[in-house]
Structure 1
Amino acid sequence: MMHADDVPGRLARGAALAALLLVAALPLDVHAAPSRAVKAPPTDAPAVSIPPATSAAPRPLSESVAAIVNDEIISTYDLAQRMRLLIITSGIQPNQENLPQFQRQALISLIDESLQLHELRRVEKQQKISIIATDAEVREELTAMARENNMTADQFLGALKSQGIGPETLYQQVRAQMSWQRWIQGRYGSRLRIGEDQIKATETRLAAVASKPQYQISEVLIDANRAGGMPQALQGAQQLITQMQQGAPFPAVARQFSAAPTAAAGGDAGWVSPGELPPEVDAVLDGLRPGQLSPPIQVKEGVYIIYLRNKRAGAGATMVSLKQAAIPLKADASPADIEAARAKLMAVRADAKGCNDLESVASKAGVMAGDLGDAEIADLAPEFQQAAQTLNEGQISEPIRTKVGLHLVAVCGKRATGSGAMSRDQIENRLMGQQLSLIARRYMRDLRNSATIETR
């Protein structure tokens, strides 16, 4: 997915901005770095010793070769530096389990950048044009990033230096990303034309699902080819989920690990409707609540991690957030049992002030209670629909009989939020972004296939 407001050059600023936000707050243990797609290095790539994070480490005299890309050497020093940068920019604490994933990502990033700069130098020579960002342009980009966080470029680079990262490491990453984005946009952006039929088809599809819920999501896509295979992609995704559950920021992780075009925006895919993502993702989204992370979702090209930020009802629908207290009763329960359960629930209803204390009051009374989450009123069980429609926020229903028991339903939230229709320009921008992303992925695939890449 490509967020509608993605623009050229945002990749460079987004990736390095994460470093700016995190560098001062994170203790560094071991490692750093990544970027985009490449022929995945073998999982048994040489282990790299990460120097302790003191001041910017001098270039070691005994560095060796980590990889050779079209006769250009990537040293173990380069790899160690990039791994260290990756830790800072992702917010993930390294350990023995995820160290190989960091090393693989760092090596993939360096190989990608080497391929991109090699191709851009070839184009510059052939066409006698300037594409690769100059030192002054890279410095200007870093200055802009620093300014966004009330720092100077020197303060920013000084913060990196204090973490043992030389400025050339970030310069290389930003230069490659800026230059590649410039080339892709310049070569293909002006040539691409989104046809009226494509826009109409998208409008028709969006209209068809306008009454269904919409989801505001962030995404990470682990490319199976880059990860070394689907098992490695699944393992890597699970490790990232564990780290995010322990506090690693989703946007920082997405910028450094995601192969989706939304990586530049920290994984922000905006509002999506059913059918915009693979069906495997749609199936999981339906069961998530705002604020939840998905488990790893395997799709054809790799593994998704989805963070559901918000959910809204479709056009003409009302979304409610519900809690319940319930006493199980068989369908053929006796009138006496039903009346006893009703009396118990009415006592809970009398003591509870609303959603905030329904569960605690029910627990003290020996009654099961729980959160039913968000749902459209039309999707609720018929017995609950009337209560959801008529009750105001904070109110609790009288006992409701179903075939499985007797229930109190509390309305914790209610909103009628029609789906915001995308404008024609937004649709065109999104389609353009998707096309450019597809072109860039194919371009990189061809570069990898034609390159000589040797890992040591």
Structure 2
Amino acid sequence: MKRSLTAFLALVTTLFGGAVHAQQVEGIAALVNDYPITTIDVRNRMRLIIVSSGVQPSEQDLLRIQQEALRSLIEETLQIQAALEYDVEVEPAEIDAAIANIAVQNNADPSQIANELAASGVDISTLRRQLEAEIAWQIIVSGVYSNRIRISNEQIEATLERVAATAAQPQYRIAEIFIEIPLSADDSQAQQRAIAVMTQLSQGAPFQSVAQQFSDAPSAANGGDIGWMLEGQMRPEVVQIARILQPGQLSRPFRVPGGLMIIALIDRRESSATLQYQLIQATLPASRINDESREDFADAVSRIRSCAGIDAALAGVDGAFSSNLGDVSHDALQADIADRLSSLGEGENTGLLDTSAGLQVYFVCDRTIGGPGVPSPDDIERQLRNQQLSLLARQWLRNLRRDATIEIR
């Protein structure tokens, strides 16, 4: 007799520890553009999620896991269908490499992964299908959108300025789980997914494994680990939460643009980043200062828009000269000068300073940050590009699901 999907999946709790019985009847859980997702597919994906978490779910947990398994299978089917449309074929060696990467993350080897899955009644093909969809989707998203993304120098500079402003703040190593809320939907489904995530984590499931199965962020492939971050690289909402967490602690779900996020603070360290300025100093010696020269010097300084124009502007001021100070650390400067420089950008100056040497002005020709964990301009560009690519990928997948014919049975 054919069982309903709900009744069939209710058996997962008792069947979890053993192999699949031959007499179980395969049914259709959903049709995605006429492609069937079977009840066997759903059960196997549920088993994969459960095995990955390492916890024994309650009956209520199973319902949430069932919903997550079906949702992910529908999205993966859409991704594979898109790959076929673009003639993208994932080679078995690429899937093997992905499994090897998972093994490394879990201090194991690929054969151990396959054996552990088999011992829990999960065929390795279940994991391979999931990885095939992920790899294919990455290929087509990159192929379709990479050349359309333009990261301007202004965007990079703005991010570097935020990083510079927080260079002295602690650095955080964070793992994330992002749960998307579609623009056209309420947040009830996302809230249910967040509950499923928090339930598994509270029962001791490894954050890395839960992120790999539930997170909608690109970092899911790395178990949610996004590495060391400065506050200037992070969303303001994430910074606010990270500041109050202790290493090893986990946040509750919180809202960010586009969805819900859960973070784990892996570690925190004091920043050893240093802010460096490339400076030129303009001086009107004390012996040459009078009312007229002071006015001329101030007028010349007001006309300077870049370091390249300093000498030309000072040429008409009797006795004035410039000195290239090269790279100077923020910490090596006098406190009053450092304070004036801290908010300045390239080409800007401190204004006139009365010193024992006379009238002086410091021009910022460049400012950079150095030290462990500090991103380079290339790193910033890569981060901004990946953020845009991720956003476009999620929008595309939403559109595929909206336009698809999906029948859930």
Band the TM-score falls in, shorter-chain normalisation:
0.5 to 0.7
Matches within 5 A, 1:227-306: 229-274=186-231, 276-306=233-263
1:451: how far off? Answer: 0.6
1:81: how far off? Answer: 0.7
Residues 241 and 150 of structure 1: CA distance in aligned 2, closer, same or farther (over 3 Å): closer
1:92, 1:211 → 2: CA distance?
Answer: 41
- TM-score when normalising by structure 2: 0.66
Matches within 5 A, 1:308-319: 308-314=265-271
1:447 aligns with 2:404: no
1:161 aligns with 2:124: no
Of structures 1 and 2, the one scoring higher in RCO (CA 8 A, sep 6+) is 1
Residues 225 and 58 of structure 1: CA distance in aligned 2, closer, same or farther (over 3 Å): farther
1:142, 1:215 → 2: CA distance?
Answer: 28
Matches within 5 A, 1:65-214: 65-124=28-87, 131-135=88-92, 137-139=94-96, 141-142=98-99, 151=109, 153=111, 156-189=113-146, 192-214=149-171
1:425 maps to which residue? Answer: 378
1:229: how far off? Answer: 4.3
Matched residues, percent identical? 41
Residues 442 and 233 of structure 1: CA distance in aligned 2, closer, same or farther (over 3 Å): closer
1:309, 1:141 → 2: CA distance?
Answer: 24
Residues 271 and 299 of structure 1: CA distance in aligned 2, closer, same or farther (over 3 Å): same
1:185: how far off? Answer: 2.6
Q: Is the 8 A contact 1:91 1:253 kept in 2?
A: no
Give 1:65's aligned amino acid: I
1:291, 1:113 → 2: CA distance?
Answer: 32
Residues 69 and 232 of structure 1: CA distance in aligned 2, closer, same or farther (over 3 Å): closer
1:262, 1:167 → 2: CA distance?
Answer: 23
1:314, 1:151 → 2: CA distance?
Answer: 36
Matches within 5 A, 1:16-27: none
2:10 maps to which residue? Answer: 49
Query: Higher Cα Rg: structure 1 or 2?
Result: 2
Please provide the CA RMSD for this pair: 3.1
Residues 179 and 269 of structure 1: CA distance in aligned 2, closer, same or farther (over 3 Å): same
1:180, 1:316 → 2: CA distance?
Answer: 37
Give 2:397's aligned amino acid: M
Matches within 5 A, 1:1-16: none
1:258: how far off? Answer: 1.2
- TM-score when normalising by structure 1: 0.59
1:312: how far off? Answer: 3.2
1:95: how far off? Answer: 1.0
**1:57 aligns to what SS in structure 2?**
coil
Q: Tell me which stretches of 4 or more aligned residues in structure 1 moved more than 6 Å.
A: none
Q: Deviations over 1:315-372 (max 9, x none)?
A: 689xxxxxxxxxxxxxxxxxxxxxxxxxxxxxxxxxxxxxxxxxxxxxxxxxxxxxxx
Give 2:83's aligned amino acid: L
Q: 1:218 aligns with which of 175, 180, 195?
A: 175
1:425: how far off? Answer: 2.1
1:120, 1:196 → 2: CA distance?
Answer: 33
Residues 232 and 123 of structure 1: CA distance in aligned 2, closer, same or farther (over 3 Å): closer
Residues 437 and 251 of structure 1: CA distance in aligned 2, closer, same or farther (over 3 Å): same
1:197, 1:308 → 2: CA distance?
Answer: 31
Residues 316 and 141 of structure 1: CA distance in aligned 2, closer, same or farther (over 3 Å): closer
Give 1:217's aligned amino acid: I
Give 1:296's aligned amino acid: P
1:144, 1:310 → 2: CA distance?
Answer: 23
Q: Is the 8 A contact 1:222 1:302 kept in 2?
A: yes
Residues 157 and 64 of structure 1: CA distance in aligned 2, closer, same or farther (over 3 Å): same
Gaps of 5+ in 1: 1-44, 125-130, 318-416
1:208: how far off? Answer: 2.1
Alignment length (residue pairs) = 306
